[in-house]
Structure 1
Amino acid sequence: MPSMTKHILNVVTNVEHYDDPSHPTGLWLSELTHAWNVFEEQGFEQTIVSPKGGRTPLEPRSLKFPNYDKTAKAWRADPARMALLENTASPDQINSADFDAIFFTGGHAVMYDFRDSEGLQRITREIFERGGIVSSVCHGYCGLLDTKLSDGSYLIAGRQMTGFAWREEVLAGVAKLVPYNAEEEAKKRGAHYKKAMLPFVSYTVVDGKLVTGQNPGSAKETAKKVVAALSRS
């Protein structure tokens, strides 16, 4: 009998600064913790993977008010949880057949290492084509920009989705630091990009097996919609 327990693959970054080393970045912790808690409450098993494996640094701005909430604080206070971020799996250690969904976390760091990871692209394609759920929050959608399906088409082409908006980059004061405009890149790939009328409010888009959230405040809602999508699959 196959196991009824769902398995989630959470993706985090290995990058700790922008092109300019004086500007640190990393995983936006609450984007992981909010989703992790939702999946944990469902009894799902979870694994953390990164493009290179090993340590994921934390985005300093995610550890300050108002972004540093009780879920992030609880994670940092738990040595076992922090150890998970010191020793993440690498894509070549992952068998995509073991997972029902993949969830790409964000933080500006992922703009540098998610997009070009052939290992992550392979895992994502295999999960999606097997009928699993592909999901992302905030900048996590950078990991979907160049992922192609077996027929050579972009996974996001023709699909409705969201992710951190260019307007939010400007308001966050990092528009001149980021390596590209992710919103525009998604549109170039044929995605039907959508965003909330107001910046930084929770906003999610579900298009079949693709579930995406716009910004850090969307992580919990995105995870809940991944749960709902899994219940239908």
Structure 2
Amino acid sequence: MKKIVFFTLLAVFCSVIALSPLEARGAARQKTVLMVLTGVGLIPNTYKQTGFWAEEFVVPFRLFRQAGHKVIVASLAGGRMPVDPGSIDPKIVGDAHAREWRRDLDKARSALNTVSLSRIKLEKVDAVFVVGGHGVMWDLTDSVEMQAALRTLFLSGKIVSAVCHGPGAFVRVTLPDGRFMLEGTRVAGFSTLEEEQVGMTKIVPYCLEEELKKASGGRYECGEPWTSFVITDGRIVTGQNPASSADTAKAVIELLKVAWKR
């Protein structure tokens, strides 16, 4: 009986030892992605609703999770953030996508109870992903707290990424020497032509394309309207529009693989 117990315990011990390297390797591969949402649900001085764009959250969120990464969703104030109703309107995004984005938002409802950015331990973050939506232009762009977080992450060698209007959070970020964080960096973002096509050029507080050109030193690029266009330049990843959501997230995931190998 003692021999049976001994060999049983030995087998269990060996199994644990055999699995440990795999578990350790899996833990090493897992990175932390910080997704940041706008908290603006109503465009100032109008009755027009806005918020974060559903596709630009749910698709990257799903891809980051499928890749095995931890995802933290944050906003300036914390709590529930408004989704742009247009991003889940069948008349705008189509019946199939409207159903899909609504379903995915429901699945992510616990994560969408966002953490206040001030509570995030930035040293534990490997990549930041700013979700688009016109609201970004009214809160994240001029937020000193957002700028400080982006500056800290960039100077710490972390991945800085955004899609559509998300790069609007980057255009005012400066480094200790006074240079823009984006200076000399190829960058994408919602184009002026796309802004014209959605009838927002006279409503938005600034022209994103022009501000990205200014911050990058004229290195803004764009593709055809409403098609995926993503630029990876060093550790900065930017996507042009909602159609770029998946490819922007995939580019971040590829950079996270490189970070794991270092």
**Between Structure 1 and Structure 2, how many residues are aligned?**
229
Instruction: Say which of 8, 12, 16 aligns to 2:41.
Output: 16
> Helix, strand or coil for the counterpart of 1:161?
coil
What is the CA–CA distance in structure 2 between the aligned matches of 1:50 and 1:35, rounded to whole Å?
16
Say whether 1:150 aligns with 2:179.
no
What is the CA–CA distance in structure 1 between the aligned matches of 2:218 and 2:83, rounded to whole Å?
29
Instruction: Say which of 209, 215, 224 aligns to 2:250.
Output: 224
**Corresponding residue of 2:76:** 51
What is the CA–CA distance in structure 1 between the aligned matches of 2:237 and 2:79, rounded to whole Å?
27
Instruction: Say which of 182, 203, 208 aligns to 1:177.
Output: 203
> Helix, strand or coil for the counterpart of 1:58?
coil
Give TM-score, length-normalised by structure 1. Answer: 0.93
- Structure 1 gap ranges (5+): none
Deviations 1:67-125 (A, max 9, x none): 362541222333xx22432x311121011111100000011111100111222222211
What is the CA–CA distance in structure 1 between the aligned matches of 2:142 and 2:135, rounded to whole Å?
13
- Structure 2 gap ranges (5+): 1-23
Structure showing greater radius of gyration is: 2
1:54 partner letter: G
Deviations 1:27-83 (A, max 9, x none): 1011011101110111100001112222210101101135362541222333xx224
Between the aligned residues of both structures, percent identity stands at 35
Q: Kindly tell me: are residues 103 and 175 of structure 1, through their superposed partners in 2, closer, same or farther at Cα, counting changes over 3 Å?
A: same
Task: Considering Cα pairs closer than 8 Å and 6+ residues apart, tell me whether 1 or 2 has the greater RCO.
Answer: 1
Say whether 1:73 aligns with 2:95.
no
What is the CA–CA distance in structure 2 between the aligned matches of 1:42 and 1:191, rounded to whole Å?
34
Say whether 1:64 aligns with 2:95.
no
Say whether 1:6 aligns with 2:31.
yes
What is the CA–CA distance in structure 2 between the aligned matches of 1:194 and 1:176, rounded to whole Å?
22
Moved over 4 A (4+): none
1:228 partner letter: E
Give TM-score, length-normalised by structure 2. Answer: 0.83
The CA RMSD measured in Å over matched residues stands at: 1.7
Alignment of 1:159-178 (within 5 A): 159-178=185-204
